[in-house]
Structure 1
Amino acid sequence: MLTIGDFARHGRVSVRMLRHYDAVGLLRPARVDPSSGYRYYEAAQLARLNRVIALKDLGFTLEQVRSILDEDIGTDELRGMLRLRRAELESAAAEAAARLARVEARLRSIESEGTMPTEDVVVTSLPPVRLAELTGIAGGFEPRDIGPVVGPLFAEVCRRLAAGGGTPVGPALARYEDAPEPGAIIVRAGVPVCGGDLPGLRVTDLPGVPLAATVIHRGSMDGVLPTAHALARWIEANGYRPVGYAREVSLDCPDDPAGWVTELQQPVTGA
């Protein structure tokens, strides 16, 4: 028989690891001295240790390893477990590749501009939201076209909401669509609500978005174009494609527009 130290050296694992395998019932010693508590192993147990190490190296948990070794799992079930593990690894590799692409894009931006980008883009999903909203038409999508339309719309939404006894449950949201007239834009200004019908307001259940690139713009929306352009460059550099117009969520709107905080939410399709 081999002492735990000798067995550990032959198996190329630590004594601490062997004690842990014993504690979880994965690899018990062949004999434990009743007086000293010393553990002893048989050389034949190296085969089981090697299988444990090999299965762990494939990414299986110790509980899964014990099931494979002790529960007489058939070939079909083991094949299914391995295929599932392969899918998990492929997903992790895809996520790592996407993260690497974002790092490379950030590096290119720093190298071309000589500074660290100030706009941090986050890719996330957008939850569904129920909006009480009003609609208007803007002559174009420039800030000078949108501002005179969306501001009064939000003010009127808040006035009608208060008059109808409604209460906002989240920050105001502006969204845009192409109008039938060439170059014109449909402007929808709304606030999240919980209730149903509200007098003088259209209540819309806006579906969630599986994937969106988001960035924070600070200051008046008259100066939003540099932030919007930075977001567009990031989307292109990272292999995404925009879907429709970006939403604008007003996170903070003090009296001074210089203190406004707005999140641009651009729906995208995957890289």
Structure 2
Amino acid sequence: MKEGMRERTVLKIGEFARVNQVSIATLRHYEKSGLLKPLELDPATGYRYYSLDQLPRLNRILALKELGFSLEQIAQLLEGELSFERLRGMFQLKQAQTQQMIDAEQARLTRIAARLSQIEQEGKMPAYEVLLKGVDALLVASIRGIVPLPLADGLEQSYAKIAAYLDEQRVQPGSPALYLLYSRSEQHDDGLYIDAEAAIPLSIALEGNEQITIQTLPGALMACTIHTGADLFLGQAYAALYRWLKDSGYQVIGPPRQLRLRYGAHIDPTQYVTEVQFPVKKMSEGDR
């Protein structure tokens, strides 16, 4: 071992590998690619020695590998003296992207489980009682837009914006919150988007803003049913309403409404309670 090496804390390749929890093969690969060469190679024994001073460089190499860079790209980045601040920013971005992927996959697993449950329940459709009732006109603050499925995720942002605005105006929001579904939909690369409007009832009129509309939803005769369970199964309630319409001679004359009677982050989704309302009128002979 050379004299200069005695002034540093040096480790054999196996020791250096254990300290950094990497394999000896990985260190040899980095040596061959020129990314991280041993501090010294003993010609007599063939032992490779590394210095603890090389730890920061190895940590950066491993970090950049985690970020998905190739060894060639890593070499170029390290030549540019990659600062800790820049590396931290890259890691934070990757962390956020990875979390989004995890959340998306978790949501997909939830939907798959729900679809499997639907298949298992085929032929065992829960009984939905459909009632006709008159609904009065309703003053609301609302946000309408094209939102992705599942609707709850996209609409939560709208509800939060409305709630924040009402808080600024010192207006107490009414209940239950509701949303309206329109017929327009768009297929995007990341899934289906639906034209939907989130609304919160108001007890007094006030001015809206660029995003929030203050409006009065018209009163109407409604065909209504109650759905208990997760939003993913709301289609069962819709199917029951459409069957009732066909059998009873009524037709839909406006966007369906969904009233969130029991809903929230602290509530088990299987215990959600939603009232689905269809504005309807009796079909005439000419409509049949």
> Does 2:163 align with 1:158?
yes
1:193-219 Cα deviation digits (max 9, x unpaired): 12222454321111111x211000112
> Does 2:200 align with 1:191?
yes
Where does residue 134 of structure 1 map in the other structure?
A: 143
Aligned pair count reads: 154
Structure 1 CA distance for aligned equivalents of residues 125 and 152 of structure 2: 30
> Does 2:222 align with 1:217?
no
Contact 1:220–1:258 (CA<8 Å) still a contact in 2? Answer: yes
Where does residue 82 of structure 2 map in the other structure?
A: none
Where does residue 119 of structure 1 map in the other structure?
A: 128
Where does residue 78 of structure 1 map in the other structure?
A: none
User: Identity of aligned pairs, percent?
Assistant: 27
Provide the secondary structure at the position in 1 that maps to 2:243. Answer: helix
Contact 1:147–1:222 (CA<8 Å) still a contact in 2? Answer: no
Structure 2, gaps ≥5 residues long: 1-121, 284-288
Where does residue 271 of structure 2 map in the other structure?
A: 259
Structure 2 CA distance for aligned equivalents of residues 245 and 197 of structure 1: 24
Where does residue 213 of structure 2 map in the other structure?
A: 202
Residues 154 and 114 of structure 1: is their aligned pair in 2 closer, same or farther, counting only changes over 3 Å? closer
Structure 1 CA distance for aligned equivalents of residues 161 and 282 of structure 2: 37
Structure 2 CA distance for aligned equivalents of residues 151 and 222 of structure 1: 16
1:107-148 Cα deviation digits (max 9, x unpaired): xxxxxx998962111011111000011122135xxxx34232
Structure 2 CA distance for aligned equivalents of residues 252 and 181 of structure 1: 29
The one-letter amino acid of 1:120's match is E
Q: Which of residues 218, 226, 242 in structure 2 aligns to 1:232?
A: 242
Provide the secondary structure at the position in 2 that maps to 1:194. Answer: coil
Contact 2:222–2:277 (CA<8 Å) still a contact in 1? Answer: yes
Structure 1 CA distance for aligned equivalents of residues 176 and 260 of structure 2: 6
Structure 1, gaps ≥5 residues long: 1-112
Contact 1:219–1:258 (CA<8 Å) still a contact in 2? Answer: yes
Provide the secondary structure at the position in 2 that maps to 1:186. Answer: strand
Contact 1:132–1:198 (CA<8 Å) still a contact in 2? Answer: no
1:162-212 Cα deviation digits (max 9, x unpaired): 222111233111012244968853211111112222454321111111x21
Structure 2 CA distance for aligned equivalents of residues 136 and 177 of structure 1: 10
Root mean square deviation, CA, Å: 2.7
Deviation of 1:260 after TM superposition, in Å, equals 1.4
Deviation of 1:248 after TM superposition, in Å, equals 0.5
Deviation of 1:258 after TM superposition, in Å, equals 2.1
Contact 1:136–1:153 (CA<8 Å) still a contact in 2? Answer: no
1:71-124 Cα deviation digits (max 9, x unpaired): xxxxxxxxxxxxxxxxxxxxxxxxxxxxxxxxxxxxxxxxxx998962111011
Structure 2 CA distance for aligned equivalents of residues 155 and 219 of structure 1: 23
Provide the secondary structure at the position in 2 that maps to 1:160. Answer: helix
Where does residue 5 of structure 1 map in the other structure?
A: none
Structure 2 CA distance for aligned equivalents of residues 134 and 227 of structure 1: 24
